Amino acid sequence: MAPSNSPFFIVGSERSGTTLLMAVLGQHSRLAVPEVAWYYPRFRAYLHTYGDLSVPTNFLTLVSEMICGLKTPFFGLNLNPATIVDELIARTHAATFSQAYSAILGLYAEKVGKPRWGEKTPHNLFYVEEILADFPQARFVHLVRDGRDVAVDQLRSAFGPRNVYAAALLWRRTHEVAARLRAKLPRDIWLDVRYEDLAARPEAIMREVLQFLHEPWEPGVLEFYRGDIAQRRARTRDHRPLGQPVSTDHVGLYRSHLSLHDQGVFNHVAGAGLREAGYASDVPPVSVSAEDAALYLELDGRIRAATLDAPEGHIVYESYNDWLIDQREERRRRGVWTSAPAVAPRFERVLDWDEEFLAGQRAPRKWKHYLAVKPRYHGSSLVL
């Protein structure tokens, strides 16, 4: 089987194991997998706001916002901020988003001395069709994990939903979108990986993943915890396990962390998805009224906004997301664009801030404004 240089994308619900797989594959001698970029959710749906990209200043604006706003500045590379945008534009063959994307990921691969790049942004799951339009040879590795364990990890994280109802709603959304994609995509470009299997049989599962990617097996991938990304991530509360070998310690978390009532709420919202994914539950659903559902979601949004600047919060990341929205509005005021393309919604709305959620926002803007959350563009804590 000849090695491939086609791009690959790690997708799935947040806290389903996508970061673990990113770290593991990034240890392969041929695979360059940087920190999350959020490029498709942040930019692909908003290309119309940059105007005609064949106009050099418009393309320069796009590339500048892409490279200068990475969550991990410049992917941790020693790049010159004064020249990097021009250098990236010089690497493109056309003034398009996909060329800018390829130039940035290609530069990272070149700097770390590897011939093939991949990328892990969980919400790329919602942009698979666009990715295939840009990169027809792309492959997707989709992480599947028990939604109740996902909920536990999200509720304990610094950026996830703040109650089990909201967590169940988000897991159901990703499950349903993945099911639709799985049904229509060829098996040679879509691979499901169960987190529980990866935790229990890491070598066997990683052999399957590498075979799917047309890459040779390398035992060193299982020493991912020695890599720079895993070591950096392990310094945070949310990703401390990345500093250790794979284990089953995080399988079945919900049994000790979710009350029977919360398990019942989860089953009410997403029990059908759990069964479809092969996860059993003997806890009966707990009915949630429309009034209670609305309260769950309002409290989720309020608390998300209020804790953005808490310890290990994501206020710096979120401030840049908000800045991008402000920049789009400023270009609209200048007449660079007037209205968004008329595109039918692809997904059922599950949140009142659905577009913001898909774009990677950690809290609804209306609650950030209501609570007067101040933006912050520099921080002393570790930025991932």
Q: Using the predicted structure, report yes or no on whether residue 133 has a pLDDT greater than 60.
A: yes
Which token pair is 225? 């915890």
Give the pLDDT score at 378. Answer: 80
Whole-Å CA distances, 74 to 5, 24, 81, 104, 339? 23, 21, 9, 9, 32
Beta-carbon contacts of residue 245 (< 8 Å; ≥ 6 apart):
202, 222, 223, 225
> What is the average pLDDT score of the chain?
94
Q: Tell me the per-residue pLDDT of 272-311, one tens digit each, with 9 for 90 and over.
A: 999 999 999 999 999 999 999 999 999 999 999 999 999 8
Using one digit for the tens of pLDDT, what is the confidence trace for 177-210?
999 999 999 999 999 999 999 999 999 999 999 9
Is a pLDDT exceeding 70 seen at residue 211? yes
Task: Please count the other Cβ atoms lying within 10 Å of the Cβ belonging to residue 183.
Answer: 8
pLDDT in tens, 110-120: 999 999 999 99
- The pTM assigned to this predicted structure is 0.95
pLDDT in tens, 303-357: 999 999 998 899 999 999 999 999 999 999 999 999 888 777 778 889 999 999 9
Mean pLDDT of 89-95: 98
Scanning 185-259, the segments in alpha helix (DSSP H) are 195-200, 202-212, 228-233, 254-257
Task: Give the pLDDT band of residue 51 (cuts 50, 70, 90).
Answer: very high
Distance between CA 70 and CA 39 in Å, rounded?
9
Per-residue 3-state assignment (H helix, E strand, C coil) for 248-289: CCCCCCHHHHCCHHHHHHHHHHHHHHHHHCCCCCCCCCCCCC
**What domains appear along the chain, each with residue ranges and CATH number?**
8-365 (3.40.50.300)
Mean pLDDT of the 152-159 span: 94
Owner of token pair 């609650």 = 367
Mean pLDDT of the 127-147 span: 97
38 vs 236, which has greater pLDDT?
38
pLDDT at 342: 79
Residue with tokens 């339009």: 133
Strands (DSSP E) contained in the chain are: 8-12, 31-32, 116-120, 139-144, 190-194
pLDDT of residue 348: 84
Pick the closest to residue 17 from 242, 169, 317, 243 (CA basis). 242
**Any idea which residue has 């690497």 for tokens?**
91
| pLDDT mean over 240-250 | 93
pLDDT confidence bin for 2, thresholds 50/70/90: low
